[in-house]
């Protein structure tokens, strides 16, 4: 059984005696705090924090991280407070422990909400001290190693959470030794039978191909020795989940996946990496298009290596990775390499760069958190952001930007800066204009064209892939809706004040203070926003303001006529004036507005049948007029009865296009062998434009009835 003295002996290799003593003191404190507590396996609970500290010792983490590992469940599972820990072990250790601890004071109705809230809390702690996530990963790794005592359903739930979040975070931070073990342990918990079959097949395959591996390894090593290049060739093993994913996603049999031989060559410096690449390409022919240079362009998590695939003897594919010793340490330990080098009292630029990238990533998480509506939305953004496959594109100045596979121009714009994303109107890819929804490929150069006052489009949410872009667009749209609701609320309230022969601008400021208290709002903008969104009635608020202005209740006051003055709409008001889909109002149609709770003003044609039910609530109906300067397109639905014939759809499409309109949707129903009904949805400028199109359709042969659909 592993003891604290065993750990102390290991720590003696890189920590001074006084720091080792502090780690031991934290262990004895945890042992006392957890006295009487046992794990599901029956072991004393303190064996868990000791094992977590041992995992961190493998990474040469500092003494404060090890102390936090010893104490990480004390706040959550015992009566010890954060302040008590701070008094005993110092504030940094207490902050680390608190960052790893779950929210125990709050009861959650849903496990998903609990998971999201706890993760959100941990991100805030990570922003203050990145060591929080390393302690948490070590904690999760030991929990996954000891899942055996739990119920199968609980095993699967914990394994899925590990796979979706913690394994991906380990990959994002470059800690691949932990990532691979978390993935394999999760796979074994979720699919135990599949994992066992693959494990047995791998053991069998390795035995069968041992001689081939030795032969290839020997030839690679010999070619390096012949060129006097220092390098060590080692075989590379695929892990279980990687094999399973390739079998599932690429639909390949196990034998075909295991036919690929993997090797890693570790050398002294970057120059040697490229010389060794030349040697292995001279020994075996390279597969075209399968070379990747992650040394010149590192992955987002700091990973660096040269990757190439070769045609081996008898056509066997050989995958070779070439890297320096520092890159190997970085590939295995990622951000933890920062402490690995610190323990040796030397800084290393690769490790320092990884640490800086990790801080930048956490900063991005905080920005997402500010924009997210709630913790569940935030954790979905994070999951989307943790996919490891990246592409690399360039700014016009030659700076490299890393983006996930499938990222679009809009994702790139937001990765440069939120304001550039919000004001983006067009782009050039390799100097050619391209749509904003274009999926990007590695090596492209992008130039974003912006315009002051431009705003994000709701449709962008249909194709963006990065969490930063998605959360920033939603945040901007929310503020856009808020601003437009305030503008509409001001128009509606001034209209409601007109019969009282006053306006917002004419009311004294002292009126607002008392009225706000009575209406339970904090500011004029909040009041106007609630009016614009239809959550309050303008005439009720107007009456209250007038009552306060006149020092009492003015219900008996005779008001002048004029309350039927129409609100003018231009069709481009944005997010708080909506056009009813039931009747498709067009400029030139007589229209009525209905104030709908949470949506704002919904515009209907005066003859719309849905207005019959709405007329029971006349205070929510408003007379509307179209502005004389409208240049937007509006949808309209037509039903056309016409003789069936070949080429009818093409004939209608050509006619509509010639009339400067667009077809949004077209459908044909055959009524009998001779007649068809065409359902046509068009985008037109207004009623006059529609009349011209209908006239052209009537000129077609054998056209029957043409009906504009009202509902």
Q: What confidence score (pLDDT) does residue 29 get?
A: 93
Q: What confidence score (pLDDT) does residue 190 get?
A: 92
CA dist., res. 546 & res. 5, Å (int): 80
Q: What confidence score (pLDDT) does residue 240 get?
A: 87
Give the CATH number of domain 634-708; options: 3.30.420.130, 3.30.70.260, 1.10.10.60, 3.40.50.10710: 3.30.70.260
CA dist., res. 138 & res. 72, Å (int): 11
76 annotated active-site: yes
φ, ψ of residue 177 to 5 degrees: the values are -60, -45
CA dist., res. 312 & res. 217, Å (int): 11
Of the residues 43, 77, 447, 633, only one is catalytic, namely 77
CA 552 centroid distance within chain: 53
- Those residues of the chain that have pLDDT short of 70 are 102-116, 258-259, 314, 337-359, 361, 367-389, 551-566, 570-576, 598-599, 615-619, 710-711
- Please give the radius of gyration of the chain, using alpha carbons only, rounded to the nearest integer: 34
77 annotated active-site: yes
Q: What confidence score (pLDDT) does residue 107 get?
A: 44
CA dist., res. 61 & res. 129, Å (int): 14
Q: What confidence score (pLDDT) does residue 563 get?
A: 45
Specify the CATH number of the domain 4-145. 1.10.3210.10
- Whose tokens are 């009906």? That residue is 707
CA distances to 48, 68, 463, 559 from 25, rounded to whole Å, are: 16, 12, 54, 81
CA dist., res. 158 & res. 508, Å (int): 61
Q: What confidence score (pLDDT) does residue 21 get?
A: 95
Summarised one tens digit per residue, pLDDT across range 346-386 is: 455 555 566 666 667 677 777 666 666 566 666 666 665 66
Q: Which residue ranges make up each domain of the chain?
A: 4-145, 466-560, 566-630, 634-708
Q: What confidence score (pLDDT) does residue 556 get?
A: 43
Of the residues 76, 181, 259, 293, only one is catalytic, namely 76
């Amino acid at each position: 059984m592993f003891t604290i003295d065993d750990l102390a002996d290991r720590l003696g290799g890189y920590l001074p005696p006084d720091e080792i003593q502090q780690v031991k003191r934290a262990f004895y404190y945890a042992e006392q705090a957890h006295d009487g507590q046992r794990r599901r396996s029956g072991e004393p609970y303190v064996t868990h924090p000791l094992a977590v500290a041992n995992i961190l010792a493998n990474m040469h983490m500092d003494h404060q991280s090890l102390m936090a590992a010893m104490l990480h469940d004390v706040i959550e599972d015992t009566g010890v407070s954060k302040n008590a820990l701070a008094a005993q072990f110092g504030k940094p250790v207490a902050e680390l422990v608190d960052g790893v601890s779950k929210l125990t004071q709050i009861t959650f109705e849903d496990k998903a909400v609990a998971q999201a809230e706890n993760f959100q809390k941990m991100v805030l702690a990570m922003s203050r001290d990145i060591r929080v996530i390393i302690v948490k990963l070590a904690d999760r790794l030991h929990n996954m190693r000891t899942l055996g005592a739990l119920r199968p359903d609980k095993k699967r739930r914990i394994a899925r959470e590990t796979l979706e979040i913690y394994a991906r975070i380990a990959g994002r931070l470059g800690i691949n030794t932990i990532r691979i073990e978390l993935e394999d342990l999760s796979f074994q918990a979720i699919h135990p039978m599949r994992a066992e079959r693959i494990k047995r097949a791998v053991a069998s395959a390795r035995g069968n191909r041992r001689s081939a591996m030795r032969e290839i390894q020997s030839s690679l090593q010999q070619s390096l020795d012949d060129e006097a290049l220092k390098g060590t060739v080692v075989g590379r093993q695929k892990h279980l989940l990687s094999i399973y994913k390739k079998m599932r996603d690429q639909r390949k049999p196990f034998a075909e996946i295991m036919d690929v031989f993997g090797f890693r060559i570790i050398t002294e410096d970057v120059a040697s990496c490229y010389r060794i690449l030349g040697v292995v390409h001279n020994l075996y022919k390279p597969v075209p298009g399968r070379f990747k240079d992650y040394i010149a362009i590192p992955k987002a998590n700091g990973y660096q290596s040269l990757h190439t695939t070769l045609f081996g003897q008898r056509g066997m594919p050989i995958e070779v990775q070439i890297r320096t010793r520092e890159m190997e340490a970085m590939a295995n330990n990622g951000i933890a390499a920062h402490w690995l080098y610190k323990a040796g009292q030397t800084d290393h630029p690769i490790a320092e760069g990884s640490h800086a990238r990790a801080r930048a990533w956490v900063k991005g998480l905080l920005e997402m958190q500010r924009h997210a509506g709630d913790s569940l939305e935030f954790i979905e953004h994070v999951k989307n952001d943790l996919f490891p496959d990246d592409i690399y594109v360039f700014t016009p100045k030659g700076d490299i930007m890393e983006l996930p596979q499938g990222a679009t121009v809009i994702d790139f714009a937001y990765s440069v800066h939120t304001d550039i994303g919000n004001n983006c109107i067009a782009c050039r890819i390799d100097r050619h204009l391209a749509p904003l929804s274009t999926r990007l490929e590695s090596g492209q150069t992008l130039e974003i064209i912006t315009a002051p006052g431009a705003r994000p489009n709701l449709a962008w949410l249909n194709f963006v892939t990065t969490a930063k872009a998605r959360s920033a667009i939603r945040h901007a749209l929310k503020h856009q809706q808020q601003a437009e609701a305030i503008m509409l609320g001001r128009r509606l309230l001034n209209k409601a004040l007109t019969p009282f022969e006053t306006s917002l601008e004419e009311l004294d400021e002292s009126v607002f203070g008392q009225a706000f208290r009575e209406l339970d709002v904090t500011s004029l903008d909040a009041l106007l926003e609630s009016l614009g969104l239809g959550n309050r009635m303008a005439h009720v608020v107007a009456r209250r303001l007038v009552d306060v202005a006149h020092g009492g209740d003015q219900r008996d006051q005779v008001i002048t006529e004029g309350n039927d003055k129409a609100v003018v709409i231009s069709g481009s008001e944005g997010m708080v004036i909506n056009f009813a889909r039931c009747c498709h109002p067009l400029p030139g149609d007589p229209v009525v507005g209905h104030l709908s709770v949470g949506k704002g003003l919904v515009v209907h044609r005066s003859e719309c049948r849905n207005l019959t039910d709405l007329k029971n609530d006349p205070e929510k109906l408003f007379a509307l007029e179209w502005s004389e300067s409208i240049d937007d397109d509006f949808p309209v639905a037509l039903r056309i009865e016409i003789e069936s014939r070949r080429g009818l759809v093409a004939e209608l499409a050509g006619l509509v296009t010639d009339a400067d309109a667009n077809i949004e949707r077209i459908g044909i129903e055959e009524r009998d062998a001779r007649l068809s009904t065409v359902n046509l949805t068009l985008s037109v400028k207004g009623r006059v434009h529609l009349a011209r199109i209908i006239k052209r359709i009537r000129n077609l042969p054998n056209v029957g009835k043409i009906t504009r659909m009202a509902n």
